[in-house]
Structure formats: C-alpha cells, structure tokens
Structure 1
Amino acid sequence: MPKVGSSTVNCLFGIIKPSGPASMSVVNSLKPLLSSSSLFYAENLKSKKGGNSKKFSKRSLKHMIKIGTGGTLDPLADGVLVLGIGEGTKQLGKFLDCVKEYQTTCLLGCETDTYDSQGIRVREAPWSHVTRTKIEQVLDSFRGEIMQTPPIFSALKMDGRPLYEYAREGIPLPKPIPPRKVTVHSLEVVDWLEGHSHQYQWPEKTMSATAKQKLKQAVAGITGSASSTALDDDPDPKSSTDDTDGGDDDKPHPPAFILKMTVSGGTYVRSIAHDIGHAVGSAAYVVTLTRLRQGDFTLSPEKDRDKSCVPWEVFEQAIKENENDEETADKDEQGHRKWENEVLDKLVLYEPSNSS
C-alpha cells in the first residue's frame, strides 16, 4: 500500500465500470465521494457546507477534486476504466493509445444503427448458413494493421459536429467518414452459442421510414459509406429465420459468437463485429462488451506490473453510506473507510515534481 500524505493525492487507479451508465455518469457519481475523503483532498474537509462532509453547496463544488478518465466506455460496456485524480490526470493521455483487450458477444442475423444492442434494428440478414468455422475463416482479414471506418452513430466529430447528429438530423456529411489505421494484435473466437443456448434477442424497435430517410440524406452522394448497408431492403424473412425446431411464433433464434481481441487505441469493437457479419454473408452486432485490460490495468492480473481494479460494488456501498451518515461508516485505526483502503491498495501515485 503506497504511503500518502495529508495533501492532495495525485494518482491513477482502475475501476470496474458496470454495464448501463455512461462513463461520465460513473465519474460524476464518484466525484462527491472522493472529494469527501481526506485521502484525496484534506482541504475539502474545511470547505463542506456546515461542516457536513456529505453535503456540498454550489460554492463548495469548486473544491471538488479534479478527476478524468483514460478513455470512455460505451454505456453498454463494462470492465476496466482508468481514472486519474489531481495531477494524475496528466498521465491519462497514454491510456488513449495503449493496447487494450476486449471480450464481446455478437449476435448474428441483424444490424443496428449503432452496431450494438442499444440501437434500433435497421436490417435483417440470413444467418442459418453461418457456423463457427465460417467465422474463424474470415478472421485473418481482421488481424494485423487494418483500415477501419468508424460507425456514423459515434461521437467522432466532423466539422465540429458529432457524426450521430448528421445521421439523426438528416444533415448530409460534408465528406466521407475517413477510415483509420488500427492494429488488431490478436483476434479469436472463444465460444459459439447456438440459438436456444442464450437469451439474446434482436431489438424490437425498427428504424422508421423517417429515420431511414434522414440516414439516407446524411450519406447521400457518398459511395461505400459505412452505413449504406443499413439502407438495404430486408431479405426474404424465410431465409433469415431458422424454423427447424418449430420455434415459437416464428421468432428468430440466431446463434451468437464470443470474440476475444487485443487491439490498439482507437479501435472500434462494434465495427469489427459489424464487418465480420458482412464478411460471412450475414449481419452481426454487439450485445455484450467487456474491457478486460487497458494498459497495465486489468480484470485478471497475471504479471508483476499488472494493476487490479476496484469493483464498482465497493463504491456503490460507500455512496450509500455517504448519503446516510458518513460518520457512522466503519473506519480502521488510520481513519480509512473500506473503499478508501480498496483504492489505496490499487492506486498508482503520480508525483508532479517528477513529470517532464
């Protein structure tokens, strides 16, 4: 456990983000908790409203600790999220371009506007011909240095606007979405899930004619658009539904496949799943996504330099304690609460005086 003084602790540590909330929502829920701790900012103990450590006035919000992330995760995604505190935020840039490891579950036979399960259904495609072997046979074309086109439903900006605004508002893209060079260091199928062995279903909501028209307007005049296939007519539904088991109400039960990959910064896992679906003559989108590693921070430490992450449940409990009455929370002989000891055990101190 690193030794810390009574002033601001400048550090990095990893948390295990849950699926559901956006990364910044997680950060915002943590900020009052961390700011209430003398571990991170002793001066905050003097700036609390009425001396109550769990309440902050608008004026005292300026005393909140400085906190940032080393790259966000989609709301759907869970796993490693690196946080920087105080001057430790200056080290976060290196986590944007570092090697990352992911595991993702991809469902066949359907394409969504966002390439994941939080989007809406825009296209169905045949899937009964796809096997694990067929998936594995196309993976070589996705390994190594590849050119990848980000999805139009992403936060990347073009001429100052996020790409998703062009798609949702029907604003023509001023130019094609530029492909980017990324590196897929490793990529493998780690499991194959037959249709009735999983609970995943295609989204019920489909793209409306109005939304589809707006998407057409956004990509009008741009050939080879990453989103052009979303505008294709649906194939014969009989070709995309497996009825060999007498499925209930003709609901599709396509298989899913689980990929594990190690990639460079800037790689879109959603795009890899989407493009693999096309490569096997079908469609696919992400239904689960876990970041297993970001730099040295990992869910499963194996090497001496590996850093483990603080489970989100630890913070959930601490936030509840703060909302009730922080003073009744159990503390050790050093005056640290459970969550503070968890962070202390896993943080990496950053000394500004040693920075360049």
Structure 2
Amino acid sequence: MSKAQLKVIEGVFAINKPPDISSAQVIRNLQQYFNPSSLFAPWLAAERASRDAESRTQQRRRKDKRLQIKIGHGGTLDPMATGVLIMGVGKGTKELRGFLECTKSYEATVLFGGATDTYDTLGKVLRRAEYGHVTREKVENELEKFRGKIMQRPPIYSALRVQGKRLYEYAREGKEVPTEIKERPVEVKELQIVEWLDGGSHGYKLPEEEAEVEAKELAGKVLHLDKAVAGAREDVNGAKRKRELEDCEDGVVSNKRPALEQEEPDPRTLMSGGLQSPDQKPSEPPEPVSPKLAVGHFHTPPQTSSPPPDKGPPAVKLRMTVTSGFYVRSLSHDLGEAVGSLACMSELVRTRQGDFELGKNVLEYEVLDKGEDIWAPHVEELLKQWEQKAAEQDKGR
C-alpha cells in the first residue's frame, strides 16, 4: 500500500440523492460501499487503534460497537425529494451543523386542487377544492406575498415538537394539537416561475386515498381547511359572476330568454286545432314549413353548450433560494390557499446547499454502482477540495 493510500481520508462532500429512498438509507448505502474499500481502509485502521486504546468502561458505554465508516448528513431530504445531500465522513461529521444554517436552492412542482396530510402527493387527501380559476397570472401575482422576509407555519407532519411531542404524532393518532402551530421567520431571497403546466399537459396527480375522518377533523381545526375550501368556492363563484356581468351590455344579469322578433305569423305554422287558412282544403295536410323560415324564429331549438371536459388540475414549477428553516411543502400549501384553491407539493429537487451545487461539485449517485475504481477518485477529489477550502477559511480567521 502506497503512502497516499495510507493517508486517512475524511471530510465533507455532497451526493445527488435519488428519489424513493430516505437520507438515512443513503448513509447506510454509502457505508456498504466505503467499509470494504481501499480508500477508507486507513480510516478504519485508525478507528480500530483508537478503540483499542479506550478503557473497558468507555468500550462498554459505546453505543455502536460495529466498526464501520462514520457518516452523517447535513440536512434531511425526504424520500420523494432529490438533489444535494451533504455528507460528512469521519471528523467531517462535526462540520455538518454549519450546513443546517446555510442558504439552499430548490426547484419544486406545486399541484393545485387538493391538500394532503403530508403537504405532498405521497400523503392522503384531506380536502379537495376548485381549480378552474387558477391561472399563471393569478399565481404570479400571489407569489409576491412569499418573497423577502415572511412568517411561515411548518407542516403538521414536520419533526417539530409541541409540548415534547412531534407534530406528526398528533396527526397520526388523530389527536388535537394542544397549542396553535406557531409561525416562524424565514427569508425567501428568490422565488420565480420556471414553467406553467396546464391541466392535462403533465403527469402529476393527487393521491386517490382519502385521509381518515379523525385526520380530516384535526386538519380542519389546525389548518383551517374548511375556511380555505369555502374561500375557493367563493372565488370561483365570484369569477363566474364577473363573466356573466361582462356578457351583459347593461350590466344586469337576466335569466330570461331574449324576446323574439315580432313578425306576422305564417298561417301554415299555426298550432294544431287552430283556424285554417281559407285557401287550404280541409282534407289537405298542411304544407311543411321551410327550414329557412324556422331559422331565427320560434321554431329554433334552444342553444345549449356543454362545459369543456375537465383535463385535471394545473401545476407550476418554481425556483427558489431560501434561508434555513424554510419548508417548501408549506409554501406549496399556502400558495394553494392564496389563489383561492388548495395545493400540495408533487416534486422537489435541492439544487444547491452552501457551496455545493448540482452539476458542479456533487457526486452522482449512479457512479457508486460502477465500482471503486470509478467512484473512489471522485470521492477523494471532492474531500480534498473541501479540505483545501476549510484550510483557507481557517487562515482567513
């Protein structure tokens, strides 16, 4: 083994987390790759020597007696989310706390038409709402409320604690939260629409499964969804009323059909049992009415128009840069209410956290399956870059 291979490699790097796995599972997967590798063999040897030097009391108190690479992450990404997940290896785990407070950038897709217990499309539906009135222009106007320094209420399924109990535990047990979920100050430095998706032009869908009655009741009390749905209906009815008024020249809505033009009735169109024309013989049947004569007169059938088929709810892709403590799910939920509907998050990508950015200095997850000869140089280079930057920052202090 060369001197380079004898060097203990540790520090901080970032990986592009794939969907459908938790951040904790990423750690376990990395340990499966790193534990038997030559790259981290010196770290394991140093850790083994350190443990052997511990007293028997310290050895008994050690919670994790397995000898494996020490790895942690600097900010959880839920299973449906993808993107930058900062990883600490060895002593690098002590530096992870600083990344929890740094600025982050996301790209998220918000789907209108319903609210779920998790504020995303992996949850169960709490309420459904009208969405036909939701347009790009309306969303753009309401986004201004969410820029800058704002107050935000965390999702009920978040990991925050209220009186020693996590919020999602109240929700799962169907119990009422003993206190109002307090808003917290956050800052949105950038928030803009990336793409507007009309109904039927995308594959995002609300969940089919409905939440339990207890969960719906809790949501109604804590999240005030009943009021939001009522507001959505009022907004839709108001829009319909406005269109009706615009269609009337004098601004008065009338359900009466327009009066027909007054013309002399054609004797051939008299009702059955009425007087016959003097020129018509009793035995002769009445002559058929010309179609041209019927058009525009009282023979014209009433014109009915069926509403266009529902193509499904619209969605919008947003790009944002936010400070620590910001919940993209809460933004999705609150935006739905702001436009007179309901909404939830259907996709989330963390594109940047601190100095780590997708496409620049983040390890692609697929590289791990290509073997140590491929992934080891990438990981080593990323850890060296972090080490050099940390050393430069120390000199500047």
The answer for the alignment partner of 1:177 in structure 2 is 181
Matched, 1:187 2:183: no
Secondary structure in 2 matching 1:73? coil
**Which whole-Å CA distance do the structure 2 matches of 1:76 and 1:4 have between them?**
39
**Which whole-Å CA distance do the structure 1 matches of 2:64 and 2:322 have between them?**
41
Deviation of 1:179 after TM superposition, in Å, equals 1.2
Secondary structure in 2 matching 1:197? coil
1:1-356 aligned at under 5 Å gives the runs: 6-42=6-42, 44=44, 62-213=66-217, 225=222, 227-229=223-225, 244-247=307-310, 253-301=312-360, 308-318=361-371, 337-347=373-383, 348-350=385-387
**Which whole-Å CA distance do the structure 2 matches of 1:113 and 1:89 have between them?**
33
Q: Is the 8 A contact 1:168 1:215 kept in 2?
A: no
Task: Spell out, residue by residue over 1:218-270, the C-alpha distance to the aligned partner (whole angstroms, 9 max, x if none).
Answer: x5xxxxx3x2316877887xx79xx95435xxxx6111101000000110001
**Which whole-Å CA distance do the structure 2 matches of 1:265 and 1:36 have between them?**
36
**Which whole-Å CA distance do the structure 1 matches of 2:199 and 2:373 have between them?**
46
One-letter amino acid of the structure 2 residue matched with residue 253 of structure 1: G
The answer for the alignment partner of 1:52 in structure 2 is none
Gaps of 5+ in 2: 49-62, 238-305
Q: Is the 8 A contact 1:114 1:120 kept in 2?
A: yes
One-letter amino acid of the structure 1 residue matched with residue 13 of structure 2: F
**Which whole-Å CA distance do the structure 2 matches of 1:13 and 1:74 have between them?**
19
Secondary structure in 1 matching 2:348? strand
Q: Is the 8 A contact 1:36 1:45 kept in 2?
A: no
Relative to the length of structure 1, the TM-score reads 0.78
Secondary structure in 2 matching 1:81? strand
One-letter amino acid of the structure 1 residue matched with residue 341 of structure 2: S
Deviation of 1:60 after TM superposition, in Å, equals 9.9
Q: Is the 8 A contact 1:36 1:44 kept in 2?
A: no
Aligned residues: CA RMSD: 3.0
Cα gap change, 1:207 to 1:47, in 2 (>3 Å): same
One-letter amino acid of the structure 2 residue matched with residue 313 of structure 1: E
Q: How many residues end up aligned between the 2 structures? A: 305
One-letter amino acid of the structure 2 residue matched with residue 293 of structure 1: R
One-letter amino acid of the structure 1 residue matched with residue 344 of structure 2: Y
Identity of aligned residues (%): 41
**Which whole-Å CA distance do the structure 2 matches of 1:349 and 1:141 have between them?**
37
Secondary structure in 1 matching 2:16? strand
Relative to the length of structure 2, the TM-score reads 0.70
**Which whole-Å CA distance do the structure 1 matches of 2:9 and 2:218 have between them?**
49
Secondary structure in 1 matching 2:381? helix
Cα gap change, 1:231 to 1:260, in 2 (>3 Å): same
One-letter amino acid of the structure 2 residue matched with residue 309 of structure 1: V
Cα gap change, 1:45 to 1:185, in 2 (>3 Å): same
Cα gap change, 1:70 to 1:47, in 2 (>3 Å): closer
Cα gap change, 1:146 to 1:232, in 2 (>3 Å): closer
**Which whole-Å CA distance do the structure 2 matches of 1:32 and 1:113 have between them?**
34
Task: Spell out, residue by residue over 1:117-171, the C-alpha distance to the aligned partner (whole angstroms, 9 max, x if none).
Answer: 1111111111111111110101111011111000111112223322100111133
Cα gap change, 1:349 to 1:38, in 2 (>3 Å): farther
Cα gap change, 1:149 to 1:37, in 2 (>3 Å): same
**Which whole-Å CA distance do the structure 2 matches of 1:172 and 1:116 have between them?**
21
Q: Which has the larger radius of gyration?
A: 2
Q: Report runs of 4+ in structure 1 exceeding 6 Å deviation.
A: 45-48, 230-236, 351-356
**Which whole-Å CA distance do the structure 1 matches of 2:97 and 2:176 have between them?**
32
**Which whole-Å CA distance do the structure 1 matches of 2:180 and 2:337 have between them?**
20
**Which whole-Å CA distance do the structure 1 matches of 2:132 and 2:226 have between them?**
20
Secondary structure in 1 matching 2:316? strand
Deviation of 1:346 after TM superposition, in Å, equals 2.3
Gaps of 5+ in 1: 49-58, 220-224, 302-307, 319-335
Q: Is the 8 A contact 2:196 2:317 kept in 1?
A: yes
**Which whole-Å CA distance do the structure 1 matches of 2:106 and 2:170 have between them?**
29
